[in-house]
A and B are shown apart, each in its own frame.
Chain A
Amino acid sequence: MITILIDIAWILAAAAGIVALRSFLRNPSLKDARDMLASRLRVRIAFYVVCAYLGVGLIGQIKVPEKERIADRSLLDLSLQWIQKERTYSAPFASEVTGIRMLEADRELNRVKGIHILGTDINGVDVMHNVLRGASTALILSFGTALVAMPLGVLLGILAGWSGGKLDDLIQWLMSTVASIPWLLFVIAFLMVFGRGLFWICLAIGLTSWVGTARLIRGETLKQKSLDYITAARATGLSVPRILFRHLLPNVRYLIIIDLTLFCSSVILAESILTFIGIGVEQGTASWGAMLIESEKELMRSPAIWWVFAGSAFCGILPLVLSLNVLGDALRDALDPRAVSSR
């Protein structure tokens, strides 16, 4: 029952995302920016790559109720059900498993049953399947962390920029305080106290990383505050929350979008580092960081099992993070008039 509710929540979130994206793509005032983005091939590729990972992550999140009581079976697992499980390691596109010397005489047993584009791991599980499952962990982490950091950063940034005076001082003090604790140390301390797991990781990273957003929004609010439309809104007697959230927020929206894109890429990198240190996701969670740990052992074998490493690093982390970075830079070029071009 609860799984169905969570599924529905995910589908609704996806629908909301698609609606938001459509309104962005259809918005007439953004036509120039959109043309500029679409005219660059690598931005288009990056956009499709991010969409593909989002899609895979989403269907990896939707759990399918199963009669055979296999826990945690997702739509992704169901759609990749046809991939055969092997006896043990097999290289990409190999016809025989590697690593079993004793059974060399028995060719029939060593034969690989299906085609694995990234080979199989020690248990004979398809590596590509694991990489795709990692996408949904990356999705939860980025969105969960953004859900903590973005509202905090935007709210405090707007409040500080708008109010000035004592409240501004207080919020600025909070920002400097949080910024002066190195994020990795804070996250480690936080996870040591509260335990591992996706929820706590999101909360820990979110609580340290809102400062950048807040500073950005504060600066922009300070600038917008003196513009005519705000003066006009004040003169018509609108309430302050209404001015802030209906008039000011839409005008700093582009900053939030740029920040969010680059934010997600840094969260995915942070996950792999945290998991590599040993305080990241719990064991058994399909994540790219966990695959990197696994590949540390596999690379040292003889002959080296390189495909687990290649799969997690170059089919999981790199394409998604690179696309997010390219997209974020392109959005900044297109939407932020002040930014020095990073072309």
Chain B
Amino acid sequence: MLTYIIRRIIYTLPIWIGVYGITFALFHMRDPIAIARVHMPQAPDAALKAWVRNNNLHLPRFVNLPADADTVLVDGKKHPELASKSIFYSQFFLGFREIITFDFGVDKNRQPISESIAERAPYSLSVMLPAFLITVTLSVVMSLFLAYFRETGLDVGAVLITVAMMSIPVPVYLLLCNWGFGKYLKLVPVYNHVLLPILVSVLAGLGGQVRFYRTVFLEQIEQDYIRTARAKGVSESGILFKHVLPNSLIPILTSVVMSLPFLITGSLILEHFFGIPGMGDMMYTAIYSQDFQVIKVMVYLGAFLYMIGALLTDISYILADPRVVLE
């Protein structure tokens, strides 16, 4: 088991390098002055250079060669601070050190980003975890129900409703719930800040999830072993709970375990709208203050959590299904 996990982690190394390459190309290969101009179209050159400096984009890209004047900010000459640094004092290697050591540097206000993340993640989790649990439970129950009533009018109608629910973007749910519960029904504000984000998040996820689980269950129902079970005289509810549900565990686990790590990153829109000081809100603030370091860290973190999710999914397969063998 342990060797499997270690080997599995080693396999993700090339992907990790790829992610670093993509983010590096994104943030560091464009002329920093041009990036600065995107955010401050009318600013004078001095302000642009100050911005570049604050974001550490004036350092050499790959290597800090003593004789090289390949830095962006300096008007033809080298910064004195760079001469005293090592050859690895460059954007590439400094960024690399950050992601290896999980020391993500500081944001615009000189706050250590790792600390902010540790501080804010619980807030995101406190909203996302209940929302996620409710969504998964509700949708598994509802799709089992639909699988029981498959190919009836109820099923057809419900599928159409789930597709309609998937066709509505999160902001629409958000505005609708906020207006309906906050303004029209006049529920107390405190209530809103805890329950409304959960409600919106459940609503936004329910359509897709119900549809997904329904397809999973129907895929199992069409299998031969179900026909055998039925021929033996197993009741319809026995088929659903004793045969279909356990055998659908793998797709359910995939979808659940895969999304677990993302519960701590929260939701950008919801957290900003309801004033929850979580990770989504941190991201939102970073977008508005053009805090590149924070956004870069979030991209790394997102990819990191995705890989954790994939690893956990694989491990959960082994635990859930005895047919899965370690290779």
> Do A317 and B299 contact each other (CB < 8 Å), given the known contacts A194-B38, A278-B287?
no
Highest count of chain A CB atoms <10 Å: which of B169, B175, B284: B169
- A295 to B179 alpha-carbon distance, docked (Å): 11
Please report A residues at the B interface, Cβ cutoff 8 Å: 42, 173-174, 176-182, 184-186, 188-190, 192-195, 265, 269, 272-273, 276-279, 289, 292, 295-296, 299-300, 304, 306, 309, 313, 317-318, 321-322, 325-326, 329, 340-343
> Do A192 and B290 contact each other (CB < 8 Å), given the known contacts A180-B303, A273-B269?
yes
Q: Are A269 and B169 in contact (CB under 8 A)?
A: yes
Q: Are B183 and A194 in contact (CB under 8 A)?
A: no
CB neighbours (8 Å) of A326 from chain B are 160, 163
Q: Does B302 contact A (CB under 8 A)?
A: yes
B12-20, B87-95, B121-129, B312-320 - the one binding chain A = B12-20
> Do A188 and B262 contact each other (CB < 8 Å), given the known contacts A272-B171, A273-B170, A317-B167?
no
Q: Are A180 and B219 in contact (CB under 8 A)?
A: no
Q: Are A188 and B160 in contact (CB under 8 A)?
A: no
Query: 3 tightest CB-CB pairs across the interface, nearest first?
Result: A177-B18, A321-B167, A195-B38
Q: Are A180 and B307 in contact (CB under 8 A)?
A: yes
Q: Per-residue CB proximity of B285-325 to A under 8 Å, as 1/0?
A: 00110101001101100110011001000000000000000
Q: Does B168 contact A (CB under 8 A)?
A: yes
- A318 to B262 alpha-carbon distance, docked (Å): 27
Can you list 6 contacts pairing A with B, beta carbon distance less than 8 Å?
A: A178-B22, A180-B306, A313-B168, A325-B166, A342-B159, A343-B151
CB neighbours (8 Å) of A329 from chain B are 163
CB neighbours (8 Å) of A189 from chain B are 23, 26-27, 295-296, 299
Q: How many A-B residue pairs have CB under 8 A?
A: 137
> Do A309 and B169 contact each other (CB < 8 Å), given the known contacts A188-B287, A278-B287, A322-B163?
no
- A321 to B14 alpha-carbon distance, docked (Å): 37
- A189 to B178 alpha-carbon distance, docked (Å): 29
Q: Does B164 contact A (CB under 8 A)?
A: yes
Highest count of chain A CB atoms <10 Å: which of B168, B176, B211: B168
Q: Does B256 contact A (CB under 8 A)?
A: no
**Separation in Å of the B280 CB from the closest CB of chain A?**
10
Q: Are A193 and B164 in contact (CB under 8 A)?
A: no
Q: Are B26 and A193 in contact (CB under 8 A)?
A: yes
CB neighbours (8 Å) of B21 from chain A are 177
Q: Are A177 and B19 in contact (CB under 8 A)?
A: yes
CB neighbours (8 Å) of A289 from chain B are 171
Q: Are B167 and A318 in contact (CB under 8 A)?
A: yes
Q: Are A277 and B166 in contact (CB under 8 A)?
A: no
Q: Are A177 and B15 in contact (CB under 8 A)?
A: yes
CB neighbours (8 Å) of B211 from chain A are 342
B contact residues, total (Cβ < 8 Å): 54
Q: Are B30 and A194 in contact (CB under 8 A)?
A: yes
Q: Find the B residue at minimum CB distance from A341.
A: B218
Q: Are A193 and B171 in contact (CB under 8 A)?
A: no
- A276 to B287 alpha-carbon distance, docked (Å): 13
CB neighbours (8 Å) of B19 from chain A are 177, 180-181
Partner of B18, one of A174, A184, A192, A195: A174
Q: Are B30 and A273 in contact (CB under 8 A)?
A: no
Q: Per-residue CB proximity of B211-249 to A under 8 Å, as 1/0?
A: 100010011001000000000000000000000000000
> Do A186 and B299 contact each other (CB < 8 Å), given the known contacts A192-B287, A279-B287?
yes
CB neighbours (8 Å) of B307 from chain A are 180
Q: Are A299 and B183 in contact (CB under 8 A)?
A: yes
Highest count of chain A CB atoms <10 Å: which of B18, B172, B178, B287: B172
CB neighbours (8 Å) of B167 from chain A are 265, 269, 317-318, 321-322, 325
- A255 to B72 alpha-carbon distance, docked (Å): 47
Q: Does B63 contact A (CB under 8 A)?
A: no
CB neighbours (8 Å) of B178 from chain A are 299
- A42 to B157 alpha-carbon distance, docked (Å): 12
Q: Are A181 and B22 in contact (CB under 8 A)?
A: yes
- A284 to B38 alpha-carbon distance, docked (Å): 18
Q: Does B35 contact A (CB under 8 A)?
A: yes
**Separation in Å of the A297 CB from the closest CB of chain B?**
10
Q: Are B163 and A317 in contact (CB under 8 A)?
A: no
- A289 to B171 alpha-carbon distance, docked (Å): 9
**Separation in Å of the A125 CB from the closest CB of chain B?**
20
Q: Find the A residue at minimum CB distance from B310.
A: A180
- A89 to B113 alpha-carbon distance, docked (Å): 46
Q: Name B161-218 residues within 8 Å CB distance of A.
A: 163-164, 166-172, 175-176, 178-179, 183, 211, 215, 218
Q: Find the B residue at minimum CB distance from A272.
A: B169
CB neighbours (8 Å) of B290 from chain A are 192
Q: Per-residue CB proximity of B119-144 to A under 8 Å, as 1/0?
A: 00000000000000000000000000
CB neighbours (8 Å) of B52 from chain A are none
Highest count of chain A CB atoms <10 Å: which of B160, B163, B219, B268: B163
